[in-house]
A and B are shown apart, each in its own frame.
Chain A
Amino acid sequence: MSDEVRTLVIDGRDVAGASGQSILSVAEESGVFIPALCHLAGLSEVGSCRLCMVEVEGTARLVASCVTAVEEGMKVTTTSERLLAYRRRAIELLFMERNHVCSVCVADNHCELQELAKTLGVTHFELPPLHPACDVDATHERFVLDHNRCILCARCVRVCDEIEGAHTWDIRGRGTGARLISDLGKPWGESTTCTSCGKCVQVCPTGALYEKGRSVAEGKRHRPYVPFLVATNALGTGRQL
């Protein structure tokens, strides 16, 4: 693993990262904010939410910054009219795809989706809501899975597989019919692989996975071990692509 230094420009600022490090990770370290939902430091990257897309000078296409390695002399733009419009649209697509009613959600005020919507200035929706009525699985003794709030970021799938080593979660079906599943698509409470470690609950960006008995006000994530995960995994997937 060569940890050579790469210097580049992000939004007009000179920054430096290691070879193989992602644009997003260098931006985070340098204090430049790039919206991201599927990315979580410490977990492998899937590049699926597409919110982190940025412009790179000399390339006509946009690139997903979480899965694009920095290169020497790169010039990256993280915000523009076009990017903002696409990001707002992405947030809108998420809000319209499932039923995200913030006022009655346990994650109200502690939700990454809600926060992003505010940051990006999403004020109105043009598209019609699809809002399928999804199940709420409360069969686990400590936790609840509410599919209505799930954005299919697959953080839980990855943390369970890559950190806990249980691989209780996966995705069923495809397209907009895709759903988070445990084991053979059976209720969570019946899972024989779940260790009840709660990591999935800690990494969920919305109110799809939450701990029972917490009132709305207490929805705040407790992530005592997420920094630890990042530290132990820093040499792995988080930094190196």
Chain B
Amino acid sequence: MSTIEDARAPGEGARRRPPEPLVPEGERRVSANVCQAAGCLSMQSDLVLGALRDRVEAAGLSDVAVRRVGCLGLCAAGPLVEVPELGRLFDHVQPDDGAALDSLVTTLSGGEPGGQAMAKEPFFSHQVKVVLERCGQVDPERVEDYLDAGGYEALTKTVTTMSPEEVIAEVVRSGLRGRGGAGYPTGLKWTTVAKATSHDGKFVVCNADEGDPGAFMDRSVLESCPQQVLEGMAIAGYAVGAQHGYVYVRAEYPLAVKRLNSAIRQAERSGFLGKQIAGTDFEFHVEVRIGAGAFVCGEETALLASIQGGRGTPRPRPPYPAASGLWGRPTLINNVETYANVPPVVMRGGEWYGSIGTGKSKGTKVFALAGAVVNTGLIEVPMGLSLRQIVFDIGGGLVGGKKFKAVQTGGPSGGCLPEELLDMPIDYESLAQAGSHMGSGGMIVMDESTCMVDVAKYFMDFCREESCGKCLPCRAGTVQMYGLLDKITRGRGTRHDLDTLQSLAEMVRTTSLCGLGQGAPNPVFSTLRYFRDEYLAHIDDHTCPAGACRLDGGER
């Protein structure tokens, strides 16, 4: 075996330096916002930024800014460039596409505006932006931009004019619920942590592990407007009496980590993190902790174990982290999006926030729309919108006009919702009743070519690989369920296998230690509930109606 001394970090030096944005010296008349978040970057939007910058400079447009911004939402059509002052959007802009760049320069110099009029696009017009208000509008790497957009006003207001009780009361009034999956009332959680006594401090933790496959909301928020999350955490720290915060980000998101780190440094420099925040005695420090590739670390007790340098295995609750979390101290854990909702709640009031959404599900929800839908991307909608509006109006329907089959929400512990539920309003209760759940907000649209048994098998494969292995039902049960599903997709399953699968799923759901095992059977339950026919077709007729499974025993 070779030793560590011979090796170099893989892929070193392969990345190019990102081009710098162009800031006009005087007043800026118009700007070109070039998306520099992961989606567009994967389509070389960094080169677009450079090319556009060169052209604007060459054209001598001294009152035009070429800006680096975060996610503009319509990732499917990237690279995207927006001219916000004129409400125009340019899609599919390639760095070597002279015509598109010319049209942009013409637009910017006051000529005939090119691109699309955003107001007319249903993708944008159905959305309500609270969390994403500043995403795509500010440069994620410049705190000045965030400040210009009203950033840190909420934190200043909090620490200079409000008592911790008043802050919590505002959050309670908003009706905000956790966006990380379970939908636990945020105000209630804050109250518990605030009431917990501790002689040596409390902690605020931001869960940015975002492990659900098919979810990229938190990533986009962190890449597009990390300051808003930090501001929410600082407000939470003030409210619950904590001076230290951690953001736990998964290792798969290097750009988010980079922008978060730079945001922390800039916020410290501007006096919004660190000591004497906004000139008061309140201090709050934030550190980033990077995950190392384990889905289960999104579970709160596993996440805490991981921050403390251990194996990310969950532990039984109680005690809840609110009572005994990091190093045994009271700890508040919320999701990225939950924190990002806090500054608007504080600024505009809980009542305003509560006026958006439905009875028990207030406010907006960010979804990552992906799969067989035309407009894949990042959207924010008021709770209570129907699935149909999301998939067909905002999402623009299915790619290639194919037939809709299901939409999967809630990640590996969620479910697949069929066509007859398209008019269901999206909120915590409706989704749970339908056998799925909100999850963190991944929404994957599937067309008729996707086999539902195969989807159930896919998620079970995920769970068996991500099971931490501590508790028996999840560790061995997911492997056995996978085996049964695999057998069925190969056309070798029997009706008896189906019964065994169902009873095993019941047992794993009821007896597993943490949410991973408890949720792992959900894709099986939901597909059995709505697509039982497909299971039976594999078993009785040895066919896969979607034509996705190979029933001759070969691997897909």
**B500 near A126: Cβ-Cβ < 8 Å:** yes
Q: Cβ of A171: which chain B residues have Cβ within 8 Å of it? A: 311, 469
* Residues on A with beta carbons closer than 8 Å to the beta carbon of B464: 175-176
- The residue of chain A having its C-beta at the shortest distance from the C-beta of B477 within the complex is A93
Query: Which B residues are CB-close (under 8 A) to A126?
Result: 500
Per-residue CB proximity of B442-483 to A under 8 Å, as 1/0?
Answer: 000000000000000000000011111111110111111001
Pair B504/A89 contact, Cβ less than 8 Å: yes
A145 sits at the interface (CB 8 A): no
Q: How far is the CB of A86 from chain B (nearest CB, A)?
A: 5
A47 near B316 with CB under 8 A, answer yes
Measured between alpha carbons, how far is A90 from B472 in the docked complex, in Å?
7
Near B by CB (< 8 A), chain A positions 111-164 give 126-128, 130, 151-152
Please give the distance in Å from A106's CB to the nearest CB on chain B: 23
Q: Are A85 and B311 in contact (CB under 8 A)?
A: no
A174 within 8 A of partner (CB): yes
The interface size bin for chain B is 20 to 34
- Judge whether A239 is part of the interface by a CB distance below 8 angstroms: no
A77 on the interface (CB 8 Å rule)? Answer: no
Q: How far is the CB of A131 from chain B (nearest CB, A)?
A: 12
Asked whether A127 lies within 8 Å of B469 as measured between CB atoms, the reply is: no
Which of B296, B475, B500 touches A127 (beta carbons < 8 Å)? Answer: B500
Q: Pick from B466, B470, B507: contact of A48, CB below 8 A.
A: B470
Interface residues of B in 488-508 (CB under 8 A from A): 500, 503-504, 507
B375 CB–A CB distance under 8 Å:
no
Q: Which residue of B lies closest to A154 (CB)?
A: B470
Known: A48-B471, A93-B472. A86 touches B483 (CB 8 A): no
Least distance between B480 CB and chain A CB atoms (Å): 5
Q: Does B512 contact A (CB under 8 A)?
A: yes
Residues of A within 8 A of B479 (CB): 97, 130, 175-176
Does A16 touch B at the CB level, under 8 Å?
A: no
A171–B475 CA distance with the chains assembled, in angstroms:
14
CB closest chain-A residue, reference B463: A175
Q: Which residues of A contact B478 (CB under 8 A)?
A: 175
A48 to B294, CA, bound (A): 19
**A171: shortest Cβ distance to chain B, in Å?**
7
Q: Is A127 touching B504 in the complex (CB atoms < 8 A)?
A: yes
- Rounded to whole angstroms, the CA-CA distance of A64 and B311 in the bound complex is 22
A128 to B510 Cα, complex, angstroms:
22
Most buried by A among B471, B477, B503: B471
Question: In the bound complex, what is the Cα–Cα distance between A177 and B507 (angstroms)?
Answer: 21
Question: In the complex, are the beta carbons of A94 and B472 less than 8 A apart?
Answer: yes
Query: What CA separation (Å) do A64 and B315 show in the bound complex?
Result: 12
Bound form: Cα–Cα A67–B514 in Å: 14
B276 at the A/B interface (Cβ < 8 Å)? Answer: no
Q: Report yes or no: B513 in contact with A50, Cβ–Cβ below 8 A.
A: yes
A152 touches B475 (CB 8 A): yes
Q: Are A93 and B316 in contact (CB under 8 A)?
A: no
Q: How far is the CA of A89 from the CA of B506 in the complex (A)?
A: 11
> Does B511 sit at the interface, judged by CB under 8 A?
yes
- Enumerate chain A residues within 8 angstroms of B510, measured Cβ to Cβ: 61-62, 86
Which chain B residue lies CB-closest to A174? B469
Interface mask (A42-68 → B, CB under 8 Å = 1, otherwise 0): 000111111001000000011010010
Q: Which residues of chain B are within 8 angstroms of A128 by Cβ–Cβ distance?
A: 480, 483
Least CB distance from A66 to B in Å reads 9
**Bound Cα distance A17, B511 (Å):** 25
List of B residues within 8 angstroms of A173 by Cβ: 469
Q: Which of A64, A127, A128, A151 has the most CB of B within 10 A?
A: A127
B299-316 Cβ-contact flags toward A at 8 Å (1 or 0): 000000000000100011
CB contacts (< 8 Å) of A102 on chain B: these are none
Q: A127-B480, A174-B294, A175-B464 given as contacts; is B511 within 8 A of A62 (CB)?
A: yes
Would you list which residues of chain A between 78 and 93 have a CB under 8 Å from chain B? 85-86, 89-90, 93
Asked whether A50 lies within 8 Å of B512 as measured between CB atoms, the reply is yes
Which parts of B11-54 form the interface with A (CB within 8 Å)?
Answer: none
Enumerate chain A residues within 8 angstroms of B296, measured Cβ to Cβ.
174
Partner of A67, one of B316, B483, B500, B511: B316
Q: With A and B bound together, what is the CA distance between A58 and B379 in angstroms?
A: 41
Contact B472 A53 (CB under 8 A): no
A93 to B500, CA, bound (A): 13
Residue ID in chain A nearest B475 by CB atoms: A176
Contact partner, A50, options B467, B468, B473, B480, Cβ 8 Å: B473
Asked if B467 contacts A174 (CB within 8 A), the reply is: yes
Asked whether, in the complex, the Cβ of B477 is within 8 Å of the Cβ of A175, the reply is: no
CA distance A130 to B484 in the complex (A): 12
Which residues of the other chain, B, contact A86 by a CB distance below 8 angstroms? Answer: 507, 510-511
Out of B469, B472, B513, name the residue touching A177 (CB < 8 Å): B469
Residues of B within 8 A of A97 (CB): 475-476, 479
Does A1 make an interface contact (CB < 8 A)?
A: no
- In the docked arrangement, what's the CA distance between A53 and B477, Å? 17
Q: What CA separation (Å) do A171 and B480 show in the bound complex?
A: 22
Task: Given A175-B464, A176-B464, A176-B476, check contact A152 B469 (CB 8 Å).
Answer: yes
Give min CB distance, A29 to chain B, whole Å.
21
Asked if A178 is an interface residue, CB under 8 A from chain B, the answer is yes
| Residues of chain A lying within 8 A (CB to CB) of residue B315 | 46-47
Report the minimum CB–CB distance from B119 to chain A (whole Å): 49
Is A9 located at the chain interface by the 8 A CB criterion? no
Judge whether B473 and A90 touch: CB under 8 Å: yes
Which residues of B sit under 8 angstroms from A178, Cβ to Cβ? 469, 475
Is there an interface contact between A49 and B480, defined as CB atoms closer than 8 Å? Answer: no
- Are B467 and A175 within 8 A (Cβ)? yes
Top-4 shortest CB links A-B: A178-B469, A93-B476, A47-B316, A175-B467
Chain A to chain B contacts (Cβ below 8 Å), 27 pairs: A46-B315, A49-B471, A50-B472, A50-B473, A50-B511, A50-B513, A62-B510, A64-B316, A86-B507, A86-B510, A89-B507, A93-B476, A93-B477, A94-B472, A96-B480, A127-B480, A127-B500, A128-B480, A151-B472, A152-B472, A174-B311, A174-B467, A174-B468, A175-B464, A175-B469, A176-B464, A176-B476
Given contacts A93-B480, A174-B294, 6 further A-B contacts (CB under 8 A): A47-B316, A64-B316, A86-B510, A94-B472, A175-B468, A178-B475
